[in-house]
Homo-oligomer: A and B are copies of this chain.
Amino acid sequence: MLHSTDKPEHAKSKNCASDRIKDVILQRICDGTYAPGQKLVELQIAKEFATSQAPIREALSQLEAMRVVETQPYKGTRVREVSRREMQECLEIRGLLEQLAAEKMGDLILPRIDELRERANETVCAARERDSQKYGLSNIEFHRIIVEACGNETLLMVWEMIAPETRMLSFAHNNLINLERCAHEHLEITDAFAEHDNRYAGKLLKLHTESVLIGVGSSAS
């Protein structure tokens, strides 16, 4: 039996119109073409893609499931705005999840340790160059490798559920992150994994993740 395309069950983009459109809209939200809070009008987007309303609704529905947009009945869909408070909440939870991943993965990280170190180095470079977009991409990949490595599908799913907040984080609020310090911490974490000290790696990871934001004290929203 020949598996022509062995996608890992949660395939990225199917070939329906709605899925292609979803990917385009997501891209635009990530790169800032669609700003947070912006309204996304179904028929307007439909016209642009030369389709009817149905695939657009489908796409927006999926994006809502990803928590990237927000829909209110009869009032439409907007790009979701993520408050600083929410970001902090997400980061705290992510820290916990990644710590769990580190402690449970055993040696499963070792086959990917080189890849992990490569991402860590990329974040160091990006931090040096003040390239927050590049930093953001490498950073998210660094962390994803760790969560993937532990082999807990549910953990990965939950982690991805709150990843978008982080993805937008470095784009919209890069001034709130000490890039160089964080990037350096990636190296420390990698070293800890390389030395099989998963417990210490987990601790570092938790502190690293939950303390990313600068000066998110009393000022809410």
Residues of chain A touching chain B, judged by Cβ–Cβ distance below 8 Å, are 14-16, 19, 54, 57-58, 61-62, 64-65, 73-74, 86, 89-90, 92-93, 96-97, 100, 152-155, 158, 161-162
Q: Is the CB of B158 within 8 A of A73?
A: no
Chain B residues within an 8 Å CB radius of A158: 93, 158, 161-162
Q: Is the CB of A155 within 8 A of B100?
A: no
B15, B64, B100, B162: the one contacting A93 at CB < 8 Å is B100
List 9 additional A-B contacts (Cβ < 8 Å) besides A15-B73, A89-B155, A93-B97: A65-B65, A89-B153, A93-B100, A93-B154, A93-B158, A96-B100, A154-B162, A158-B158, A158-B162
List the B residue with the shortest CB-CB distance to A99: B96
* Shortest 8 CB-CB contacts between residues of A and residues of B: A65-B65, A89-B154, A14-B73, A61-B61, A16-B73, A89-B152, A90-B154, A96-B96
Chain B residues within an 8 Å CB radius of A89: 152-155
- Between A and B, 27 residue pairs with Cβ closer than 8 Å are A14-B73, A15-B73, A16-B73, A16-B74, A54-B54, A57-B58, A58-B61, A61-B61, A61-B65, A64-B65, A86-B153, A86-B154, A89-B152, A89-B153, A92-B100, A93-B97, A93-B100, A93-B154, A93-B155, A93-B158, A96-B96, A96-B97, A154-B162, A158-B158, A158-B161, A158-B162, A161-B161
Chain B residues within an 8 Å CB radius of A19: 73
* A24 to B106 alpha-carbon distance, docked (Å): 44
CB distance from A220 to the nearest CB of B (A): 12
CB distance from A8 to the nearest CB of B (A): 14
* A62 to B15 alpha-carbon distance, docked (Å): 21
* A161 to B159 alpha-carbon distance, docked (Å): 11
Chain B residues within an 8 Å CB radius of A162: 154, 158
